[in-house]
Amino acid sequence: MWLEILLASALGFAIYWFVSRDKDKEETLPTEYGWWGPGTRPTPGEDESIRPFKVETSDEEINDLHWRIDKTRLRPPLEESYFHYGFNSNYLKKILSYWRNEFDWKKQVDIINKYPHFKTKIEGLDIHFIHVKPPQLPAGRTPKPLLMVHGWPGSFYEFYKIIPLLTDPKSHGLSDEHVFEVICPSIPGYAFSEASSKKGFNSVATARIFYKLMLRLNFEEFYIQGGDWGSLICTNMAQMVPSHVKGLHLNMALILRNFSTLTLLLGRRFGGLFGYTERDLELLYPLKEKVFYSLMRESGYMHIQATKPDTVGCALNDSPVGLAAYILEKFSTWTNSEFRNLEDGGLERKFSLDDLLTNVMLYWTTETIVSSQRFYKENLGQGLTAEMHERIKVQVPTGFAAFPSELIHLPEKLVRFKYPKLLSYSYMPRGGHFAAFEEPELLAQDIRKFVGQVEKQ
């Protein structure tokens, strides 16, 4: 028994040294200028004006969509296959019927336009964003600027339900101690933000552009929040300009360099050596199901998009039905992996069809599925740990919301390796990958808690 304990201790020390051997460097990412528009950079510089923008549609756009839906060919699913083979085509028929006959895109466009939209040119790209200010403020108070960044296959629309909880908390029965001014940009190549014309446009370039956006809006200090790609973009912003980021809040983190397989293998038996709590063990084990099988089941899209995004993109950009199946499948199994055992993928347990199809329409009407998928190749095409930002720790106050149905659970100890100034780590009671879209109240509560901790420092 003692020999086993000593061996485990030695292994634990070795693993701890391995994953933490990168010192807490004060190194930052470079902020040099880039140019991603077509052709060469103009002389003199680009127009820096901020222009109002309004989402619009037409009968022709809707009629074309209906025509394509009417021409759909579907193969029947295997018996009792549910969502194990991907999107179940029997349930897809129901969605298509609703999309074709009941979904009102013009009404949804009006909903999208309820918040102020803008565009501005940065590094050659027309950047779209919404900017929502508080409708009321306590006397003598100023709102806290908060940048919120989406991921794939999401959009700025994911934040529509959380925005009022942050900008107008008092009207929703919440304390007005922290009132936010929310800015939600579209990642370039997503929805209404112009796609790069050149290779190499990655999360670091996006972070630099969004930092310049905040400066252009006259914010010298601000909070940032993100999940999925948004978590990496916000992390890169914190690595790039730590003096401007008051706090970083994440509901996902891409920690590749310190994610030790050996630690995971030993964690169930010797979890205490690695700082794992009982809740961590519940969310990580059995390892075969919670991590390895989950990664195999859910990562196929990533391999395609990180290698040959344009090939599958041709099909998805041409077929609204294929696009919907490809995107909505993620809103099933990324919300809860157990939903794959349901005939309808559990989609309507957490979301309305109107909200889901609105997100799909933002890809369809802007023809941005191909450019959104290229983001994977630009960020992952050189290897999982090849980028400079993987070696740089984050030296700003950080908050982390661990939603239990996220694709992979990250224990606090592992998060702290990358984010040594972690102030807040919360085990959320429910929710998955699309936190702001699925559980806006819970996420808003955790953001407010984290900001309160930062402000007390």
Whether the CB-CB separation of 127 and 195 falls below 8 Å is answered with no
Q: Establish whether the linkage from the previous residue to 153 is cis, with ω within 30° of 0.
A: yes
Distance between CA 114 and CA 56 in Å, rounded?
13
Whether the CB-CB separation of 204 and 180 falls below 8 Å is answered with no
Which of the following is catalytic: 115, 160, 211, 376? 376
Whether 433 is catalytic:
yes
For the packed helices 59-70 and 105-112, what is the interaxial angle rounded to 10 degrees? 130
> CA of 54: how far to CAs of 102, 118, 128, 396, in Å?
24, 8, 10, 35
Whether the CB-CB separation of 224 and 147 falls below 8 Å is answered with yes
279-300 burial code (b ≥16 CB/10 A, e <16): ebeebbbeeeebbeebeeebee
Three-class secondary structure of residue 258 per DSSP: coil
Burial class of residue 30 in the structure, from the number of CB atoms within 10 Å of its CB (0-12 exposed, 13-18 middle, 19+ buried): exposed
Pair type for strands 398-402 and 245-250: parallel
> CA of 117: how far to CAs of 18, 97, 288, 357, 445, in Å?
47, 31, 45, 20, 26
Distance between CA 33 and CA 50 in Å, rounded?
19
Q: Token pair of 44, please?
A: 């003199």
The 125-132 sheet, strands edge to edge: 50-53, 117-122, 125-132, 180-185, 144-149, 222-226, 245-250, 398-402, 422-427
Distance between CA 267 and CA 281 in Å, rounded?
8
Whether 150 is catalytic:
no
- Nearest 5°: phi and psi at 147? -95, 125
434, 394, 457, 454: which is closest to 160 by C-alpha?
434
Which of the following is catalytic: 117, 150, 178, 433? 433
74-95 burial code (b ≥16 CB/10 A, e <16): eeebeeeebbeebbbbebbeeb
Neighbouring CB atoms inside 10 A of 385's CB total 11
Whether the CB-CB separation of 183 and 118 falls below 8 Å is answered with no
Whether the CB-CB separation of 47 and 121 falls below 8 Å is answered with yes
Report how far Cα 77 is from the mean position of its chain's Cα atoms.
31
Which of the following is catalytic: 228, 285, 326, 363? 228
Catalytic residues: 228, 376, 433
